[in-house]
Each structure stands twice: as structure tokens, then as C-alpha cells.
Amino acid sequence: MTGNIIRKELLTNITSLRFLLALAVSIALFVAGGFIFVSRYNQEMSEYSEKTNNNLARLNEASKNLSEVANYVQMIQRMPKLTRLFCSGFEKTLPNTFQTDVFKVEIPEVNNDMNFFISRFVDLDWMFVISLILSFMAILLTFDSLSGEKERGTLPLALSNSVPRDTVLLGKYLGAIITLAIPLLLGLLINLIIVNLSGLQFDSGQWLKIAAFMGLSILYLSIFLLLGMLVSSRSPKSSTSIVILLFIWVVLVILIPSTGRLIAEKFVRVPTRTEVDRMIHEAVTEIWNNSERYGKNAGSWAGNNLKVDWINPPARARLYNAVTDAKNRINEDYVNKMVEQVNLGRNTTKISPVTLYQTISEAVFGIGVPRFQSIFSQTARYKDVLKEFLIAEDKKDPESLHLLAWRHEVIFSQKPVDFNALPKFAESDISMKEAMKIAFWDLSALVIINILLFATIYVSFLRCDVRQR
């Protein structure tokens, strides 16, 4: 019996004008998004390769002097990801350049050669198409799933044949899910053809994430299907149902996610870059004004002349390291404050399934804010690894004072170092296990919403009068 209802719903849906129009729009967006992505990805990979190679070339040049390696500020680029085809996670607006030497990590910057007007255009990724177009399609499929049949008199007739109401609900729900799966699968096929013809290939780990994303997308769209069925079960007319559902869709998909920024900026204030620079200046000034705490004559220097009696290189090194430590603390606090502001904005808008869907998708693909935090942390760890390597190399030089301090070459080894032996930065992706850990509560919320909605529909449908009025 359930199978018959599913087939009936599926046939009714796929032959309807609303389905065909929504399918045409979504397929057009998938095609356009695929071509735009391939073009942009190739451009970004070219820029990434060029900048990364330039950074390594300058590091190679600095390797002629151990002290120069320590003071060389590396420009670490964020590598473009193939999975941005499915979820861009606002990566084009997030910092893509991370700067560090062995003393400090600078505030990340947005650095690209793209026309800054073009960067304002919306990415036609899967998440955009699914979260807006297909969620709207979901309510179009279900706004009259029950109210329409009540108006036509077909629902009372079906229930008069001893068909259980839960069977009717399950059949209609599964029929709608299968209907929505058609543009999803067609979109996947189209995108894969476009990407494959361009010479790009996904690895096994990326395929696993794509499969998880497909399941997540079905779970997200299910909420709007269930909302449509719920409102349809309580509405006497289909016209009333569609008006209510359009209002709910606008609130959940557009209005609530848009309030996140306002809430975040109101309750978490992030200092401006000017204020950060002032804090750094004040901290550095305070350290220099109290330089004696780092040793006698710590604030006195005579250039390269270490034979002067009042020169105290160890104290000077401690003072300069205190300066860079202060800069690191302020920069890290600034970055953490920005992340805190974003997270507050998102957490307060997670009553919308769109926000949940976006945050889980970013975690699954390891992009967006989670990736930014990960790269920033990896850059700080790389700084420490490189520092330990240089200190170990410096100990091999008997002529060195074995003091590592910012901008002071004369107190550290001047010997060359093997470039091939130097630690190089290599970004490590967020594993699927870590992604699931990050997304666990949001994913649980999506599942719970689906369960509660289905239970509510079931109770509502059991109690509703299906007779024509």
C-alpha cells in the first residue's frame, strides 16, 4: 500500500508544472555553477602556485644565513579546494594569506588578484542552490499535499478504504523526498561531468565528504517537506497553506540568518585594526619603559659591536622576545574575538535550519570558519617547529651566542642551512572524525527537528477532519 502511494505521489509531482519549472531552474544553476567554479578554481590554483613558489624561493635565498631564515616573514597561502563546488563557506571573503616568522604570527589578510567588484557576486555552489531553490521547491511540492486532496475529495475517499493515516503520511513524505532527490542527483551528475571534462578529479576522502553532504542535504530539505505537510494538514484550503508557508520560508531562509550579524555586532565588539595597532604600540612602549626587568642594559645597544662593556645580549634578546610575545597575544586575541563574534551570530540564528545546514556543511568539507581557525593554529605550530629546528642548528655553530631574538642577526648563527632540511608549511585538512565532532550538536538538532515535525504531523493528521467543507 505504501508503495502505491509513493508511486502516485512521485508521478503526480514529476508531471506537475511547478516541478518542471523548479527542475529547469536548479539544473540551469548547477550547470552555470559548475562552469564558474572550474574557471575560478583554475585561476586560484594558478595564483596559489605562483605565490607559494615565490615564498619558497625567498626562503631558499634566506637559507644562506640561519639568522635570516629566523627573521624571514613567510607568506603562507590557503590552498583552493575542489569541494568548494559544493560549499564555498564564504571562503572568498575570509583571509587567505597567513604571515609568520619564528617569532610572531601576523593578523591574516585577504590577498588576491581578483577584481574586488567580482568578489561581491554570490557563489553558485550546491549549498546556495539547495538552501534556497530546492527548499522553496520542497514547500511547492507539499503545500497542497493534504489540503488539496481534502478540497478535491480524494483524501476522504482514500481513507474510507481502510488505509491507515500513518501509511498515507509516510507514502506522501517518501514520494516527495524521492522527487527532490531527482534534481540533487542530476545536479551531481552534471557537476561531475563538467569537473571531469576539465581534468579535475576528487580523491576518496573527498568522495566520502560528498556522500555525507548529500545525506545532509536530504535531511535539510526534509524539514521543509515536513513543514509543508504540517501546514497543509491544518489548513482548510491550499491557498491558505501556500501563503503561510511562503511566510515561514522567508522567515527561516532569509530573515533569521540575516539577523546574525546585527546580533553579533551588538553583543561582541571587535576592535578595529587601528585600535589593535594602538594596543601593540602601548604594549611595546610599556616593555621598553621597563626594560631593566629583562636584565641590566637590556634597552641599550651598540649595533654589531658586542665588545662594549655595557652591552648585554641575553637581556636584549629577552626584551625583544617579550615584544614579539606581546604582539602575538594581541594578534591572537583579535583573531579570537572575530571568531567569537561570528560564532555568536551563527549560534543565535540556529533556530533556522539554513544556519544549521551551512555550519554542518562547512565542518564536513573543512572550509569556512573552521578551516580559518585550523590554518591559523597550524601556522602558529609551524612557527614553533621551525623555531626549534633553527635553535638545534644554531647549537652546531661554536661562533654563535645562541640567542634567538627578533631582528638581531649578530647574536644568532650566520651559517647557512640546508634548504631541503628546513621544515615547510603544509596544511592538513580537518579529518572526517574531527568534522563530525564539530558538527555533532548541529546535526543532532537537524535530526531532532525532523523527528518532532513528523510526530507533530502524525498527531495533527490523526485529529484533523478530512471531510470536504
DSSP 8-state code for residue 268: S
Residues 6+ apart with CB under 8 A from 11: none
Asked, for residue 363, whether it belongs to a domain, the answer is: yes
3-state secondary structure of 98: strand
3-state secondary structure of 262: helix
Asked, for residue 274, whether it belongs to a domain, the answer is: no
Closest CA to 142 of 186, 180, 181, 187: 180
pLDDT band (50, 70, 90) for residue 9 = confident
Distance CA 43, CA 50 (A): 11
pLDDT band (50, 70, 90) for residue 301 = low
**455 Cα distance to chain centroid:** 32
Which of 116-120, 374-378, 398-402 reaches the highest mean pLDDT? 374-378
- Is residue 220 predicted with pLDDT exceeding 70? yes
Mean pLDDT score, 355-364 = 92
Lowest model confidence (mean pLDDT) among 167-176, 217-226, 356-365:
167-176
Asked, for residue 142, whether it belongs to a domain, the answer is: yes
- Is residue 121 predicted with pLDDT exceeding 60? no
Q: How many domains does the chain have?
A: 1
Report, in angstroms and rounded to the nearest whole number, the Rg of the chain calculated over CA atoms.
Answer: 30
- Is residue 101 predicted with pLDDT exceeding 50? yes
Asked, for residue 313, whether it belongs to a domain, the answer is: no
Per-residue pLDDT reduced to its tens digit, 237-275: 888 889 999 999 999 999 998 888 888 888 889 999 999
Per-residue pLDDT reduced to its tens digit, 421-437: 999 999 998 888 888 88
3-state secondary structure of 196: helix
How does the average pLDDT of the chain come out, rounded? 86
Asked, for residue 224, whether it belongs to a domain, the answer is: yes
Asked, for residue 293, whether it belongs to a domain, the answer is: no
Mean pLDDT score, 326-331 = 94
Give the domain extent around 417: 2-259+349-463
**Crossing angle of helices 135-142/17-62, nearest 10°?**
160
Residues 6+ apart with CB under 8 A from 149: 155, 158
Lowest model confidence (mean pLDDT) among 110-119, 135-144, 344-353:
110-119
Question: Per DSSP, what are the bridge partners of residue 99?
Answer: 75
Asked, for residue 67, whether it belongs to a domain, the answer is: yes
Mean pLDDT score, 321-345 = 92
Lowest model confidence (mean pLDDT) among 49-58, 275-284, 299-308, 334-343:
299-308
Mean pLDDT score, 225-243 = 87
Q: What is the pLDDT of residue 458?
A: 84
Share of the chain above pLDDT 90, in %: 42
Contacts 24+ apart (CB under 8 A), 426-430: 427/78, 427/79, 427/375, 427/378, 428/374, 428/378, 429/205, 429/366, 430/363, 430/366, 430/370, 430/371, 430/374
Lowest model confidence (mean pLDDT) among 164-168, 193-197, 424-428:
164-168
What is the DSSP track for 146-191? THHHHHHTHHHHHHTTT--HHHHHHHHHHHHHHHHHHHHHHHHHHH
CB 321 within 8 A of CB 406: yes
pLDDT band (50, 70, 90) for residue 117 = very low
Asked, for residue 21, whether it belongs to a domain, the answer is: yes
Distance CA 24, CA 190 (A): 13
Question: Counting beta carbons within 10 angstroms of the beta carbon of residue 45, is it exposed (0 to 12), middle (13 to 18) or buried (19 or more)?
Answer: middle
Q: What is the pLDDT of residue 158?
A: 57
C-alpha cell at 27: 539544473
C-alpha cell at 308: 662594549
CA torsion sign for 82, 88, 91, 93 is positive
Q: What is the pLDDT of residue 153?
A: 60
